[in-house]
A and B are shown apart, each in its own frame.
Chain A
Amino acid sequence: KAGVTQTPRYLIKTRGQQVTLSCSPISGHRSVSWYQQTPGQGLQFLFEYFSETQRNKGNFPGRFSGRQFSNSRSEMNVSTLELGDSALYLCASSLARQTENSPLHFGNGTRLTVT
Protein backbone atom coordinates (compact mmCIF):
# COMPACT_ATOMS: atom_id res chain seq x y z
CA LYS A 1 0.00 0.00 0.00
CA ALA A 2 1.46 3.35 -1.00
CA GLY A 3 2.17 5.80 1.80
CA VAL A 4 1.35 9.49 2.02
CA THR A 5 2.77 11.27 -1.02
CA GLN A 6 3.74 14.92 -0.93
CA THR A 7 4.78 17.00 -3.92
CA PRO A 8 7.04 18.68 -4.61
CA ARG A 9 9.81 17.54 -2.24
CA TYR A 10 11.67 20.84 -2.47
CA LEU A 11 10.60 24.38 -3.28
CA ILE A 12 12.44 27.68 -3.40
CA LYS A 13 10.32 30.82 -3.46
CA THR A 14 10.88 34.53 -3.08
CA ARG A 15 9.41 36.63 -0.31
CA GLY A 16 5.98 37.95 -1.29
CA GLN A 17 5.16 35.06 -3.62
CA GLN A 18 2.60 32.38 -2.93
CA VAL A 19 2.99 28.61 -2.96
CA THR A 20 0.77 25.54 -3.18
CA LEU A 21 1.76 22.19 -1.72
CA SER A 22 0.06 18.92 -2.54
CA CYS A 23 -0.70 15.81 -0.52
CA SER A 24 -2.13 12.44 -1.55
CA PRO A 25 -3.21 10.40 1.49
CA ILE A 26 -3.03 6.66 1.91
CA SER A 27 -5.80 5.01 -0.08
CA GLY A 28 -8.97 4.89 1.99
CA HIS A 29 -7.86 7.55 4.45
CA ARG A 30 -10.34 10.39 4.75
CA SER A 31 -8.60 12.71 7.19
CA VAL A 32 -5.66 14.86 6.15
CA SER A 33 -3.72 17.07 8.53
CA TRP A 34 -0.90 19.51 7.89
CA TYR A 35 2.00 20.31 10.20
CA GLN A 36 4.88 22.78 9.97
CA GLN A 37 8.31 21.69 11.24
CA THR A 38 11.07 24.22 11.98
CA PRO A 39 14.21 23.97 14.14
CA GLY A 40 12.97 26.77 16.38
CA GLN A 41 9.28 25.95 16.84
CA GLY A 42 9.34 22.20 16.27
CA LEU A 43 6.26 20.44 14.92
CA GLN A 44 3.17 22.63 14.89
CA PHE A 45 -0.36 21.79 13.79
CA LEU A 46 -1.69 23.85 10.88
CA PHE A 47 -5.10 22.38 10.07
CA GLU A 48 -7.10 19.21 9.54
CA TYR A 49 -9.55 18.33 6.80
CA PHE A 50 -12.12 15.57 6.81
CA SER A 51 -14.72 14.99 4.11
CA GLU A 52 -13.67 18.21 2.35
CA THR A 53 -14.32 20.32 5.47
CA GLN A 54 -11.78 22.01 7.70
CA ARG A 55 -12.36 20.47 11.14
CA ASN A 56 -9.60 22.08 13.16
CA LYS A 57 -7.14 24.91 12.79
CA GLY A 58 -3.89 25.78 14.54
CA ASN A 59 -2.56 29.19 15.48
CA PHE A 60 -1.30 30.35 12.12
CA PRO A 61 -2.17 33.54 10.24
CA GLY A 62 -4.79 33.60 7.52
CA ARG A 63 -2.03 33.48 4.89
CA PHE A 64 -2.04 29.74 5.49
CA SER A 65 -5.00 27.98 3.96
CA GLY A 66 -5.91 24.58 2.66
CA ARG A 67 -8.54 22.51 1.03
CA GLN A 68 -9.48 18.90 0.51
CA PHE A 69 -10.96 17.37 -2.62
CA SER A 70 -13.59 14.67 -2.94
CA ASN A 71 -10.88 12.04 -3.47
CA SER A 72 -9.33 13.10 -0.10
CA ARG A 73 -6.29 14.66 -1.76
CA SER A 74 -5.36 17.93 -0.11
CA GLU A 75 -3.52 21.12 -0.92
CA MET A 76 -2.23 23.86 1.30
CA ASN A 77 -1.49 27.37 0.17
CA VAL A 78 0.69 30.04 1.69
CA SER A 79 0.27 33.54 0.33
CA THR A 80 2.59 36.53 0.66
CA LEU A 81 5.50 34.38 1.74
CA GLU A 82 7.76 35.56 4.54
CA LEU A 83 11.29 34.42 5.36
CA GLY A 84 9.92 32.77 8.53
CA ASP A 85 7.74 30.48 6.44
CA SER A 86 10.82 28.47 5.49
CA ALA A 87 10.12 25.05 6.94
CA LEU A 88 9.37 21.41 6.30
CA TYR A 89 5.65 21.05 5.68
CA LEU A 90 4.31 17.64 6.61
CA CYS A 91 1.06 16.08 5.58
CA ALA A 92 -0.46 13.24 7.58
CA SER A 93 -3.44 11.05 6.86
CA SER A 94 -5.62 8.73 8.90
CA LEU A 95 -8.70 6.61 8.38
CA ALA A 96 -10.86 8.80 10.58
CA ARG A 97 -10.59 11.72 12.94
CA GLN A 98 -10.13 9.70 16.07
CA THR A 99 -6.39 9.19 16.43
CA GLU A 100 -7.00 6.57 19.08
CA ASN A 101 -8.31 4.17 16.47
CA SER A 102 -6.59 5.44 13.38
CA PRO A 103 -3.11 6.84 13.97
CA LEU A 104 -1.55 9.53 11.84
CA HIS A 105 0.72 8.46 9.00
CA PHE A 106 3.08 11.17 7.82
CA GLY A 107 4.53 11.83 4.39
CA ASN A 108 8.16 12.82 3.91
CA GLY A 109 7.28 16.48 3.61
CA THR A 110 7.90 19.42 1.30
CA ARG A 111 10.95 21.49 2.14
CA LEU A 112 10.09 25.16 1.45
CA THR A 113 12.83 27.75 1.37
CA VAL A 114 11.87 31.42 1.14
CA THR A 115 14.59 33.81 0.01
Chain B
Amino acid sequence: GENVEQHPSTLSVQEGDSAVIKCTYSDSASNYFPWYKQELGKGPQLIIDIRSNVGEKKDQRIAVTLNKTAKHFSLHITETQPEDSAVYFCAASRIAAGNKLTFGGGTRVLVKP
Protein backbone atom coordinates (compact mmCIF):
# COMPACT_ATOMS: atom_id res chain seq x y z
CA GLY B 1 0.00 0.00 0.00
CA GLU B 2 0.86 3.67 -0.09
CA ASN B 3 3.40 5.08 2.35
CA VAL B 4 3.89 8.82 2.90
CA GLU B 5 6.90 10.21 4.72
CA GLN B 6 6.94 13.81 5.97
CA HIS B 7 9.84 15.99 7.10
CA PRO B 8 10.67 17.73 9.33
CA SER B 9 8.59 16.62 12.30
CA THR B 10 9.00 20.03 13.94
CA LEU B 11 9.81 23.41 12.43
CA SER B 12 10.42 26.68 14.23
CA VAL B 13 10.56 29.88 12.19
CA GLN B 14 10.66 33.59 12.90
CA GLU B 15 7.59 35.57 11.97
CA GLY B 16 7.93 36.78 8.40
CA ASP B 17 10.26 33.98 7.33
CA SER B 18 9.31 31.11 5.01
CA ALA B 19 8.50 27.55 6.03
CA VAL B 20 8.94 24.47 3.85
CA ILE B 21 7.59 20.99 4.55
CA LYS B 22 8.50 18.04 2.35
CA CYS B 23 6.74 14.74 1.69
CA THR B 24 7.58 11.67 -0.34
CA TYR B 25 5.15 8.95 -1.41
CA SER B 26 5.68 5.39 -2.54
CA ASP B 27 2.73 4.56 -4.83
CA SER B 28 3.36 5.89 -8.34
CA ALA B 29 -0.38 5.56 -9.02
CA SER B 30 -1.22 8.25 -6.44
CA ASN B 31 -2.57 11.31 -8.21
CA TYR B 32 -4.09 13.59 -5.59
CA PHE B 33 -2.10 15.36 -2.87
CA PRO B 34 -3.89 17.51 -0.25
CA TRP B 35 -2.38 19.40 2.65
CA TYR B 36 -4.20 19.83 5.95
CA LYS B 37 -3.68 22.16 8.90
CA GLN B 38 -4.73 21.00 12.35
CA GLU B 39 -5.04 23.39 15.27
CA LEU B 40 -5.27 22.28 18.87
CA GLY B 41 -8.62 20.70 19.66
CA LYS B 42 -9.82 20.79 16.07
CA GLY B 43 -9.98 18.47 13.11
CA PRO B 44 -7.71 18.82 10.07
CA GLN B 45 -8.64 21.63 7.70
CA LEU B 46 -7.79 21.49 4.00
CA ILE B 47 -5.50 24.38 3.03
CA ILE B 48 -4.44 23.46 -0.49
CA ASP B 49 -4.36 20.46 -2.80
CA ILE B 50 -2.73 19.49 -6.07
CA ARG B 51 -3.40 16.93 -8.76
CA SER B 52 -0.75 14.91 -10.52
CA ASN B 53 -1.22 16.74 -13.83
CA VAL B 54 -0.12 20.02 -12.23
CA GLY B 55 3.41 20.83 -11.08
CA GLU B 56 2.68 23.81 -8.87
CA LYS B 57 -0.29 25.58 -7.28
CA LYS B 58 -0.41 28.78 -5.28
CA ASP B 59 -3.00 30.37 -3.01
CA GLN B 60 -1.90 33.66 -1.48
CA ARG B 61 0.95 32.85 0.94
CA ILE B 62 0.72 29.11 0.42
CA ALA B 63 2.13 27.10 -2.48
CA VAL B 64 2.55 23.42 -3.22
CA THR B 65 4.95 21.83 -5.71
CA LEU B 66 4.86 18.29 -7.05
CA ASN B 67 7.63 16.24 -8.65
CA LYS B 68 6.01 13.07 -9.97
CA THR B 69 9.27 11.56 -11.16
CA ALA B 70 10.82 11.82 -7.73
CA LYS B 71 7.48 11.10 -5.99
CA HIS B 72 7.97 14.17 -3.90
CA PHE B 73 5.77 17.15 -3.01
CA SER B 74 6.29 20.18 -0.80
CA LEU B 75 4.34 22.89 1.01
CA HIS B 76 5.73 26.42 1.05
CA ILE B 77 4.40 29.09 3.41
CA THR B 78 5.77 32.58 2.87
CA GLU B 79 5.65 35.58 5.23
CA THR B 80 4.69 33.36 8.14
CA GLN B 81 2.44 34.73 10.86
CA PRO B 82 1.78 33.52 14.43
CA GLU B 83 -1.60 32.13 13.32
CA ASP B 84 0.26 29.77 10.98
CA SER B 85 1.40 27.86 14.09
CA ALA B 86 -0.25 24.43 13.90
CA VAL B 87 0.40 20.84 12.83
CA TYR B 88 0.47 20.33 9.06
CA PHE B 89 -0.21 17.02 7.34
CA CYS B 90 0.43 15.97 3.78
CA ALA B 91 -1.56 13.15 2.24
CA ALA B 92 -1.77 11.13 -0.94
CA SER B 93 -4.45 9.12 -2.65
CA ARG B 94 -5.55 7.62 -5.91
CA ILE B 95 -8.62 9.46 -7.11
CA ALA B 96 -10.13 6.11 -8.06
CA ALA B 97 -9.75 4.98 -4.42
CA GLY B 98 -12.35 7.46 -3.31
CA ASN B 99 -11.78 9.15 0.02
CA LYS B 100 -9.02 6.91 1.32
CA LEU B 101 -6.15 9.25 2.14
CA THR B 102 -2.74 8.10 3.37
CA PHE B 103 -1.29 10.76 5.64
CA GLY B 104 2.25 11.73 6.48
CA GLY B 105 3.31 11.85 10.12
CA GLY B 106 2.75 15.60 10.49
CA THR B 107 4.93 18.66 11.03
CA ARG B 108 4.49 20.88 14.08
CA VAL B 109 5.17 24.44 12.96
CA LEU B 110 5.89 27.17 15.50
CA VAL B 111 6.04 30.76 14.30
CA LYS B 112 7.85 32.95 16.81
CA PRO B 113 6.78 36.61 16.95
Contacts from A to B (Cβ < 8 Å) = 4, 31, 33, 35, 42-45, 48, 50, 55-56, 58, 90, 92, 94, 97-100, 103-109
Given the known inter-chain contacts A98-B95, A103-B34, A103-B49, please indicate yes or no for A45 contacting B43, CB distance below 8 A.
no
The answer to whether the Cβ of B29 comes within 8 Å of any Cβ in the partner chain is no
Write the chain A residue with the least CB distance to B89.
A43
A104 touches B45 (CB 8 A): no
Q: How many residues of B contact A (CB 8 A)?
A: 26
Write the chain A residue with the least CB distance to B49.
A103
Q: Distance in Å from the Cβ of B12 to the closest Cβ of chain A?
A: 20
Contacts of B34 in A (CB 8 A): 99, 103-104
The answer to whether the Cβ of B102 comes within 8 Å of any Cβ in the partner chain is yes
Instruction: Given contacts A43-B89, A105-B46, list 14 more A-B pairs with CB under 8 A.
Output: A33-B100, A35-B101, A43-B106, A50-B98, A92-B43, A98-B95, A99-B95, A100-B51, A103-B46, A104-B99, A104-B101, A106-B44, A108-B42, A108-B43
Contacts of B101 in A (CB 8 A): 35, 43, 45, 99, 104
Given the known inter-chain contacts A42-B106, A99-B32, A99-B93, please indicate yes or no for A90 contacting B99, CB distance below 8 A.
no
Q: Which residues 63-113 of B sit at the A interface, judged by CB distance below 8 A?
A: 89, 91, 93, 95, 97-106
B103 touches A97 (CB 8 A): no
A104 touches B32 (CB 8 A): no
A94 touches B43 (CB 8 A): no
Q: Select one of A44, A94, A107, A109 contacting B99, CB under 8 A.
A: A94
Jot down 22 A-B pairs with beta carbons below 8 A, ordered by A: A33-B100, A35-B101, A42-B103, A42-B104, A42-B105, A43-B91, A43-B106, A48-B98, A48-B99, A56-B99, A58-B100, A90-B44, A97-B99, A99-B32, A99-B34, A99-B99, A100-B31, A103-B34, A103-B46, A104-B46, A104-B101, A107-B43
